[in-house]
Amino acid sequence: MNIQPALHRTRFRSKAVAGLTALLLPLAALVGLASPAEAAASATATYAKTSDWGTGFEGKWTVKNTGTTTLSSWTVEWDFPSGTAVTSGWDADITGSANHWTAKNKSWNGTLAPGASVSFGFNGTGSGAPSGCKLNGASCDGGPTVPGDNPPSAPGTPTASNITNNSVTLSWAAATDDKGIKNYDVLRGGTKVATVTGTAYTDSGLTAGTDYSYTVQARDSADQTGPVSGARAVRTTGGGGTDPGPGGKVKLGYFTEWGVYGRNYHVKNLDTSGSAAKITHINYAFGNVTGGKCTIGDSYADYEKAYTADQSVDGVADTWDQPLRGSFNQLRKLKAKYPHIKVLWSFGGWTWSGGFGQAVQNPTAFAQSCYDLVEDPRWADVFDGIDLDWEYPNACGLTCDTSGPAAFKNMMQAMRAKFGSNNLVTAAVTADASTGGKIEKADYAGAAQYMDWFNVMTYDFFGAFAAQGPTAPHSPLTSYPGIPQQGFNSADAIAKFKAQGVPANKLLLGIGFYGRGWTGVTQDAPGGSATGAAPGTYEAGIEDYKVLKNTCPPTGTIAGTAYAKCGSNWWSYDTPATIATKTAWAKQQGLGGAFFWDFTGDTSNGELVTAVKNGIG
């Protein structure tokens, strides 16, 4: 708004001139409206309340010539709600009829050259705001504070395609506006790089192997800009960057939504521990699967929890009215600090896998529901894909599924069709390689063509869920004499997936950042009997590595996994040394990388994440 200093009125001055200003004319004496001298698109009228003293107020309108020819006269009309009225005015002839008010230029201020503006003011009573503004018979088109013309909506979050070493094609859903969209500004990293009339743009001249972030903003016919769209992260190909491409290795960790409660583990911990710089991907666990759809798991932890400055990744506290809070907003901030990180939203898990059976009865509708949730405009820029943790297709977990061997493949095919080639589509899968076991129950090879990778859950093979033992490492790399169950080890699981036809580079080796243990054990070596689960901080039979490394240090190693006996308690868990062994094996097997469950089990300085990074490279 262009305010003319010479026309500025203080509250004291405005009241003083009230007695010198002609009384408002009745309807019979209204001055006839002049014919529009300019189309509304070439002139604007903006309103501001400049003073308010309780029993009255001062208002000001500013008329600006935004066209290329001289404006010879102007007339501004607006409505006030009942109880609000103009009592006196200056620098315009103001008349009123009921709740409708009209201001016409004086003889000396009606002519406006291109770019020039003029203001007039008035005193009023009441507290209402003007609405239905018209300038020379058409919309005032003056911006979001001007009645009569709303700014455009936000366009859809851009999608990216045809990504090369130095270019990317962006497209987006159109914005809406009550007067029509004029064009779109394309912003790269918050800086405008182009203005286009359509809903697509190819950005070129980029650097290979580099992360970029794109948003789009619409302009209406009056050049008002609306809110920016959600952001789309893009990484150009080539350049030898850190994001896994052909030949790259995945280093992925699970972040649990419930960790923000009793464990007091937040997204900021990924930064302060040094882990964020050493990983490539985060799986956010979990969204629910119920009613045939992907649904929110914990809305408070996900996007409602307000973070204080000391808890926040960037040291900035959440405000009560910001559109996105919680872990989703903190992940957004983490990605801004570490642009190489990609985040996937994981759905299902042990507790919430029971809903997959119903969901896969209509894979297309299920995929649509997941896409709509993951790509919700509030957080679409946070997520780079979806991970499905179905435990287990056509087999038993917490519940038993009878969807058939093709259900998993059909689900992943529908997900890829919906999410497209620019999103990651992955799954956590069983590591049961026993004869007739869970790997044989589903068509994983058929699904592989639609997927980026499988997180093979090569942990939890053994534990105090068999309360009497025998004791055994819960994440053995290989078989060993006396192993309680044939096929329950990492090497056999990976071999079985390969034999089924899943490419090695689409298999990630799973590593647990926790131990499983028994109590009532007298034998130091594996294979001893027990009386039940060893005490754990959050759950009997389970304890974090960060605790066990100090309370029960390893006393031996078997099948590539450490074990420890402390008093009558017996634990098995991975250490930096055993992770080095496992990751070296994974590289020798040509696997796509490694993943781990979960960040909260690691030390405050990220010992285990460091070991994964050093081992996978």
Domain that holds residue 166: 159-235
Mark which of 208, 235, 262 sits at the end of a domain.
235
- 285's enclosing H/E stretch is strand 281-290
Let me know whether 191 and 282 are in one domain. Answer: no
Q: Is residue 411 part of a domain?
A: yes
Q: Are 397 and 353 in contact (CB under 8 A)?
A: yes
pLDDT at residue 35 tops 90: no
pLDDT of the residue at 141: 66
pLDDT band, residue 148 (cuts 50/70/90)? low
pLDDT at residue 421 tops 80: yes
Let me know whether 344 and 260 are in one domain. Answer: yes
- Compute the distance between CA of residue 335 and CA of residue 349 in angstroms, rounded to an integer: 24
pLDDT of the residue at 438: 97
Let me know whether 281 and 404 are in one domain. Answer: yes
C-alpha distances in Å from residue 398, one per residue of 74, 273, 353, 517, 536: 74, 34, 8, 21, 21
- Compute the distance between CA of residue 507 and CA of residue 511 in angstroms, rounded to an integer: 13
Mark which of 235, 268, 300 sits at the end of a domain.
235
Segment 426-442 mean pLDDT: 97
Number of domains in the chain: 3
pLDDT at residue 34 tops 50: no
- The region of weakest confidence among 214-218, 284-288, 387-391 is 214-218
Q: Are 368 and 418 in contact (CB under 8 A)?
A: yes
Let me know whether 169 and 53 are in one domain. Answer: no
- Give me the CATH number covering residue 98: 2.60.40.290
pLDDT of the residue at 39: 35
- The region of weakest confidence among 35-44, 199-208, 398-407, 517-526 is 35-44
Q: What are phi and psi of 253, to 5 degrees?
A: -125, 150
Q: What is the pLDDT of residues 343-362, one digit of tens each?
A: 999 999 999 999 999 999 99
- The region of weakest confidence among 227-236, 374-383, 445-454, 578-587 is 227-236
pLDDT of the residue at 146: 44
Tokens (6 digits) for 448: 């592989």
Nearest to 456 by CA among 397, 511, 385: 511
Judging by beta carbons within 10 Å of its beta carbon (0-12, 13-18, 19+), is residue 413 exposed, middle or buried? buried
pLDDT of the residue at 611: 97
- Compute the distance between CA of residue 403 and CA of residue 408 in angstroms, rounded to an integer: 9
pLDDT at residue 246 tops 70: no
pLDDT at residue 405 tops 90: yes
- Give me the CATH number covering residue 333: 3.20.20.80
More confident residue, 232 or 449: 449
pLDDT at residue 25 tops 50: no
Q: Is residue 77 part of a domain?
A: yes
Q: What is the pLDDT of residues 470-489, one digit of tens each?
A: 999 999 999 999 999 999 99
- The region of weakest confidence among 191-195, 250-254, 307-311, 527-531 is 191-195
Please spell the DSSP secondary structure of 295-307, one letter per residue: E-S-HIIIIIPPP
Judging by beta carbons within 10 Å of its beta carbon (0-12, 13-18, 19+), is residue 10 exposed, middle or buried? exposed
pLDDT of the residue at 238: 59
Q: Is residue 462 part of a domain?
A: yes
More confident residue, 492 or 180: 492
Q: Is residue 541 part of a domain?
A: no
Is 304 catalytic? The answer is no
Let me know whether 208 and 316 are in one domain. Answer: no
CB neighbour list of residue 511: distance below 8 Å, 6 or more residues apart: 458, 459, 475, 574, 579, 582, 594, 595, 596, 597, 608, 612
pLDDT band, residue 505 (cuts 50/70/90)? very high
pLDDT band, residue 292 (cuts 50/70/90)? very high
pLDDT of the residue at 410: 97
- Give me the CATH number covering residue 212: 2.60.40.10
pLDDT of the residue at 51: 84
Let me know whether 203 and 273 are in one domain. Answer: no
Q: What is the pLDDT of residues 167-223, one digit of tens each?
A: 889 999 999 988 889 899 999 988 889 999 999 999 998 887 677 888 999 988 777
Let me know whether 221 and 347 are in one domain. Answer: no
Q: Is residue 545 part of a domain?
A: no
Q: Is residue 543 part of a domain?
A: no
Q: Is residue 310 part of a domain?
A: yes
- Compute the distance between CA of residue 534 and CA of residue 227 in angstroms, rounded to an integer: 55
More confident residue, 134 or 355: 355
Let me know whether 207 and 260 are in one domain. Answer: no
Let me know whether 98 and 171 are in one domain. Answer: no
Q: Is residue 532 part of a domain?
A: no
Let me know whether 377 and 498 are in one domain. Answer: yes
pLDDT band, residue 11 (cuts 50/70/90)? very low
Let me know whether 222 and 296 are in one domain. Answer: no
Question: Which residue among the candidates 58, 77, 391, 607 is catalytic per the annotation?
Answer: 391
Mark which of 139, 170, 195 sits at the end of a domain.
139
Average pLDDT value over all residues in the chain: 88
Let me know whether 189 and 334 are in one domain. Answer: no
pLDDT band, residue 240 (cuts 50/70/90)? very low
pLDDT of the residue at 245: 44
Segment 384-394 mean pLDDT: 97
pLDDT of the residue at 159: 84
pLDDT band, residue 16 (cuts 50/70/90)? very low
Of the chain, the percentage scoring pLDDT greater than 90 comes to: 72
